[in-house]
Amino acid sequence: MTYALIGLAYLLGATPTSYWVGRALHGVDLREQGSGNLGATNAFRVLGWQSALPVVLVDVAKGFVPVWLFADLVGVGLPWRLAYGSAAILGHMFSPWVAFRGGKGIATSAGVFLAMAPWAVLGGLVVWLGLTLPTGYVSLGSIGAAFALPILIALTPHQGGRTLIWFASVLAVFVIWKHRSNIGRLRRGEENHFRRKPEAKRAEPTT
- Between CA 30 and CA 21 the distance in angstroms is 9
Tell me the per-residue pLDDT of 124-166, one tens digit each, with 9 for 90 and over.
999 999 999 998 888 899 999 999 999 999 999 998 889 999 9
Tell me the per-residue pLDDT of 62-93, one tens digit each, with 9 for 90 and over.
999 999 998 888 877 899 999 999 999 999 99
Alpha helices in the chain (DSSP H): 2-13, 17-21, 40-47, 49-65, 71-74, 78-93, 106-114, 118-135, 138-155, 161-178, 180-188
Predicted pLDDT at 36: 80
pTM of the model: 0.87
Letter for the amino acid at 107? Answer: A
Predicted pLDDT at 168: 96
- Between CA 109 and CA 120 the distance in angstroms is 12
Domain boundaries, the chain: 2-188
Residue 106 has pLDDT above 70, yes or no: yes
